Amino acid sequence: MEQNDFYKWKRLKGEPDNFKLPENWIKGFISLNHLIIVSSSQIYTFHLKDLYWSQLSARGESLSSLSSRSCLVRPGLIADLRTKSNKTTSLECLTFKTKDVPNDFEVKSHDLISSAPTQFSSDYPLFSDQTSLYTFGHNEQSRYTPWILPGLLYQTNFENKDILEVKISGNVPCKRRDYQSIFHHGKLYLYGGYNDKRNILYDLWVLDLGELKWEKLQDINTIEFKPFLNKSPFLLTFDDQILLCLKVDSSCAVLSYNPYADSWSELRLAPDTPKFNDPMTFVGYQDSIILFTGQEVYSLRIPSKTNRFKGGQLKNLIDQLFIEKTHADITFKVEDEEFPANKCILSLRSPYFKNMFSSKMMESQSSAIPVPNVRAKVFKVILEYIYLSDIKLDNDIGEDLFKLAHEYLLEELKDECEEFLAKNIDEENVIKTISFAEQYEAMKLRKACLVFIMRNRDEVFKKHDIKELESKTILELFTIEH
């Protein structure tokens, strides 16, 4: 982006255009390619690539216990902690699948095995590293005033349902309330709020869960926007910058923190920025901010401040690391083969590996990681893509490579695999391919399969029984035909 260019919001017009959401929605999340909107009794999804709305149906327990404190643990799982009237603490888990149709979610409650420590409370925002939930401790001296203690963390493990105390050493932020926090690739970012003297805080901190040490970053000194900074700004993180999204009257402002320059700046929004209705929520998705206003969805692309994998000497060095296997600090055991790799490269390229190596997951502590149920041939191609940004696809690995890219959160590779599979549909594989597309939400591939079946229905159903298709797919084909 040139210096004189403006950042411009783009409305994402979804289908159906008149889709209405209730006003009592609680929170928004990003899960893979979906914007997930949770209301008091329902879940709605907006597919950010294919631009369509869906409503999910409830199974299991009531959703009313889910609160604005809840967090997305991993794609398809939202969790919350709830203190009951008898002072026991329960773990509320909401699992969902964002397939085309039918859509559903399930709510389950699990009583925690250990009793909650004195300074533990489920009344504060949570964050997760995919294996555990974390919440800050509170000041025992003022139990009914929500001052959190950033020097004290409680970890709730999904495996054994225990609550463990995690103490943080060194310099820590002061106790506060009404703060903003977000967890990103093994690090927790904490911004602002009020201190116990009711002064507004403009400080930004980062906590590395691996080292359990806080680091203070640059305070905001943008005087123009300080009056708006105490009105619950939204904190977002990207790989190379941190953003604060502010509600400014009926519009918004975006402030960016550049960790390389240790400074804040304002993003220059286009003069024709639309007026937004309250309430607003902002979430990060790939290289964009997604804004949801209750009925409409907008996107604002945030260009990277670095170009890590584009040509030049750095690209040559990364190629050399892959070819010569030098400085490897991790080995993957796949079938009977071993694949040495570099944690730093894997973490930069894949959010999955960055979470793994930044957290306390068992894999991050080991120098050899077994990879079950994956062919060595497929894993080799994944590594080639991560290091070289180049792959050779064939029919033998297409679906398996898509599945592994899905697991490792490699969205561009998924797109390449989906395009390859769509180009190689024939009468023999179309039924199997459409089933695969529905399972992994590959909507472009599914659409290509439907078009192929409609154009070649006689040849397809000479080789396959129509009952091999899902009933919803049969109905859709019938609807298209008529």
β-bridge mates for residue 284, sequence order: 289
- pLDDT for 225: 62
Contact criterion met (CB below 8 Å) for 320 and 357: no
At 268, the amino acid letter reads R
- pLDDT for 246: 82
The full length of the chain comes to 482
Tokens linked to 482: 């008529």
CA distance 297 to 51: 10
- pLDDT for 66: 62
Annotation: CATH topology of 307-415: Potassium Channel Kv1.1; Chain A (3.30.710)
- pLDDT for 320: 67
- pLDDT for 299: 93
Q: Which helix (H) or strand (E) holds 355?
A: helix 351-358
- pLDDT for 247: 81
- In this structure, is the dihedral angle defined by the CA atoms of residues 395, 398, 399 and 400, taken in order, positive or negative? positive
- pLDDT for 332: 92
CA distance 180 to 317: 39
- pLDDT for 446: 85
Q: What is the DSSP string of 393-431?
A: --TTTHHHHHHHHHHTT-HHHHHHHHHHHHHT--TTTHH
Residue among 441, 444, 452, 440 nearest 477 (CA): 452
Residue in the structure block whose two tokens are 């400074």: 263
Residue in the structure block whose two tokens are 């590779």: 413
CA distance 130 to 76: 11
- Give the angle subtended at the CA of 459 by the CAs of 453 and 460, to the nearest 5°: 45
Residue among 132, 230, 239, 213 nearest 176 (CA): 230
Q: What are phi and psi of 264, to 5 degrees?
A: -105, 150
Q: Which helix (H) or strand (E) holds 346?
A: helix 343-349
Domain 10-301 has CATH 2.40.50: no
Which residues, 6 or more positions from 232, have their beta carbon under 8 angstroms from its beta carbon? 178, 180, 247
Please state the domain extents for the chain.
10-301, 307-415, 425-482
* pLDDT, block means (10 residues), the chain with 482 residues: 67 80 78 80 82 76 63 73 64 64 58 60 68 77 66 79 80 87 83 84 86 86 61 78 83 81 82 80 88 88 60 60 76 91 87 78 66 92 86 87 91 89 89 87 86 84 75 64 48
- In this structure, is the dihedral angle defined by the CA atoms of residues 116, 120, 123 and 126, taken in order, positive or negative? negative
At 18, the amino acid letter reads N
- pLDDT for 374: 93
- pLDDT for 20: 75
Contact criterion met (CB below 8 Å) for 180 and 193: yes
> CA Rg, the chain, in Å?
24
- Give the angle subtended at the CA of 233 by the CAs of 227 and 235, to the nearest 5°: 140
